[in-house]
Amino acid sequence: MTLPDFPAHLTPTLLQGRTALVSGGVSGIGLAIAQLFEASGAKVVVADISLLGGEAPQSCPVGSGWHCDVSDEASVADLAKSVAKTGNGLDILVNCAGVPQSSTAIETMTVEAWDRIMNVNVRSLFLMTKHFLAPLKASGNGAIINICSTVGVRPKAGLAAYSASKAAAIATTQALALELAKDRVRVNGINPGATETPMLSGFSHGREVQEVVGSFASQIPMGEIIRPSDVAGAALYLASDLARLVTGVTINVDGGRTV
């Protein structure tokens, strides 16, 4: 497989023999992580709300794909049952599914919009961990990676719900790391900065995406916007035995933006 932005010598078989589940893995950061994990030897399962439901996995850009609404417990429970039937177990869980927020004054934000952001970005971490914890414990070498955001540590005006959801994701990551350490399940997070993905348009406030890319890049000390492959590289490290005693950390992949 040819991976965009990843030379072959940077994709060793670090995950050989392991099974990984990536939510939101059809596009953007999730897809880049799924591709890199597969190229590094893992069996990859992708869960995404855009995929069709059913008894069998669906066509997917990488690995086997299953429909799942990560904010809905019944949907997550069904996914867990489907994955269990494959008999491959689970070693790595990547919680990448998320929704953005266009800049919204707090007095005009609806309860429905607030709840959707919190449910997809935070409630999903609880549900996915709850329903996939048994196979992760059974692995003896389990890893959970939560895709958080730099706004979780550096909030922005107009993004109250999104900032709150990502701060909660970071705190959830830390609490679970402590809780699950005894079970040899490591829990870490990644804080991407502005990343060139389809979701970026959700922050664009009606501007053209390329204009937004240029605007964000000008604010990054290293001078360029984050690529999905940059985040995938951090995820590969956290999923692998290179990070065997790393738990409870959240890595900033932001070109120095939050320093």
Catalytic residue among 162, 185, 191, 200: 162
| pTM across the whole model | 0.91
Place of tokens 């549900």: 127
Strand ranges in the chain using DSSP code E only, listed in sequence order: 19-23, 43-48, 64-67, 92-95, 142-147, 185-192, 250-253
Look up the CATH superfamily of 16-196+227-252.
Answer: NAD(P)-binding Rossmann-like Domain (3.40.50.720)
What pLDDT score was predicted for residue 199? 63
What pLDDT score was predicted for residue 23? 98
Domains of the chain, residue spans: 16-196+227-252
Q: What amino acid is encoded at 234 in this protein?
A: A
What pLDDT score was predicted for residue 149? 96
Place of tokens 């709300």: 49
What pLDDT score was predicted for residue 61? 86
pLDDT along the chain (259 residues), means of 10: 57 90 95 95 96 82 94 98 94 96 92 97 98 98 97 92 97 98 98 78 57 70 87 97 97 91
What pLDDT score was predicted for residue 169? 98
Phi, psi at residue 47, to the nearest 5°? -115, 130
What pLDDT score was predicted for residue 102? 85
pLDDT tens for residues 232-257?
999 999 999 999 999 999 999 998 98
Is 162 part of the annotated catalytic residue set? yes
d(CA 17, CA 28): 25
Nearest CA among 184, 182, 191 for reference residue 144: 184
Concatenated DSSP letters of 162-209: HHHHHHHHHHHHHHHHHHHGGGTEEEEEEEE-SB-SGGGGGGSTTS-H
* 206 Ramachandran zone, left/alpha/beta (phi>0; psi -120 to 50): left
